[in-house]
Amino acid sequence: MTCEVKTKEDKDRNIKKLCIILGSLVIVIALGFFIAEQVINSVADAREKAEIKARNEKLQTELITKAEKLYKGYYYDEALALLNENIKLESKDDDRIKAEIAKIENAKSSLVKYEGSVEHVFFHSLIIYPELAFDDKGHPAEGYNMWMTTVSEFKKMLPELLKRGYVLYKLSDYIEMDSQNKIKLKDIYLPPGKIPLVISVDDVNYYEYMKLDGFAEKLVLDDKGRVSTQVVTPGGETKITRDGDVIPILDDYVAKHPEFSWRGAKGTIALTGYEGALGYRITDNLPSEKEDQQMVKKIADKMKENGWLFACHSYTHNGYFRTGKVTMAQMRSDIDEWKQKIEPWVGKTNIYISPFGYCLNNNDPRYRYIIESGFNIFCNVGNERKIIVNSDNIIMPRVNLDGFTMTNRKEEVNQHYFNVDDVIDTSRPLINDKLN
């Protein structure tokens, strides 16, 4: 009996113990789950914070990279606007952005008015294959040797010009109107030590006589929509290239070195019209020309979007401009024809780049006809490096950077632009013998 009672008591005690143990176990497990959840949550929290931080840092880096590109191309206000906008959105961790803003504001306030010489250099379409240009088959080699520049020379000039402090500047930005509606030179502000440079390219028409002489055939839009060159190799293969003339070479150079261009400025293209423009024969009023006319317009629009300007280089490029014997009637029909047949495709322009670099007196009726036709920037050829300001037009001299100048005015080129010996193409014929 006693034994039985004991057993029952024991049983009860054991059940109680078991209950306590089970209860404790449940509490421990629950606690474990609770702690585990807390740990998981805090780990997730930390990971989320780290992810947000990394994302912000990545965004900031991207933003600074974008702002830095704008800053290098002298788009100070645009770079500041971009950064300031971001500071409003992301107020934390913005030390790097603040430093970038301070740097750009400092650069903007350090700009100085440029007071030095006026630098305008020009080229013709570049020689891609000297072996074809200088072979004296087709067009005589001597003319090419004197008045043309090779692709290899042009590519070597650009870094040298950049090193000397040159920065491309838009020709149309040299002038403005005063309160009396008279023309005046616009102040140019650049970082200290920088020199504004205008580049122009004459006769980007790809004339018939140049075929088979190692030049590009025409400008085209490539599969990425970029203005490129169509070239026929010495082996007879037709290719689309990025270095067949000044335009794609300069576009690519500025993309890589935005500090070589003031706010996206490139060069000015001087077009005649008697064999069309940019390699397209578009001036005979034939229905078959329609497609090419639209193509010239597309290419010109793309170029203008990328900082290029167009200029009238006369319609005929006739010899009577060189001799000064051009009559009033000839001047009138020349200008009118350019405006009728070329302007519709490349757009209105106020720049006239004279063929053969001729210049006329400001009061000469033939000169007045040019000015009154809407051209108030007149560019001749000369190395005065000064602009003449008339009441309704300016005359800006240009220096040809070609075989003639590199050979006969070597010291001047060395002094102003680059060391000739480092640049000049060794495949040129002996120019000294012919020119001196």
Binding site for Zn ion (CB under 5 A): 202-203, 355
**Tokens, residue 48:** 């989320």
Please, which residue, 186 or 325, has the CB nearer to Zn ion?
325
Nearest residue (CB) to Zn ion, 261 versus 272: 272
Task: Please state the closest distance from residue 167 (CB atom) to Zn ion, in A.
Answer: 26
> Which CB atom, from 203 or from 251, has the smaller least distance to Zn ion?
203
Contacts of 101 (CB under 8 A, 6+ apart): 80, 83, 84, 87
Nearest to Zn ion of 100, 202 (CB atom): 202
Comparing every residue's Cβ against Zn ion, the nearest one is 202
Q: Supply the minimum distance, in Å, between the C-beta of residue 355 and Zn ion.
A: 5
Residue closer to Zn ion, measured from CB, 139 or 156: 139
At residue 137's C-alpha, the angle toward residues 132 and 140, to 5°, is: 95
Least distance between Zn ion and beta carbon 101 (Å): 47
Beta strands 394-400 and 388-389: pairing type?
antiparallel
Contact 299, 221 (CB under 8 A): yes
- Nearest-CA neighbor of 302 among 246, 226, 199? 226
Shortest approach of Zn ion to residue 283 CB, angstroms?
17
CB 412 within 8 A of CB 115: no
Torsion (CA) 84, 90, 93, 99 in degrees, nearest 10: -10
- Please, which residue, 202 or 292, has the CB nearer to Zn ion? 202
CA 293/CA 282 separation, integer angstroms: 6
- Which single residue is written with the structure tokens 């520049």? 149
Considering beta carbons, is residue 202 or 213 the nearer one to Zn ion?
A: 202
Residue 66's contacts (CB-CB under 8 Å, 6 or more residues apart) are 82
The CB-of-270 to Zn ion minimum distance in angstroms stands at: 7
- Cα distance between residue 5 and residue 11, in whole Å: 10
What is the nearest approach in angstroms of Zn ion to the Cβ of residue 210? 12
Closest contact distance (angstroms) between CB of 117 and Zn ion is 24
First-to-last alpha carbon distance for the chain, in angstroms, is 143
What Å distances lie between residue 61 and 67, 191, 228, 249, 422, CA to CA?
10, 25, 32, 30, 39
Q: How far is the CB of 183 from Zn ion (least distance, A)?
A: 25
Q: Which is nearer to Zn ion, 202 or 402 (CB)?
A: 202
**Helix (H, G, I), strand (E, B), or coil: what is residue 160?**
helix
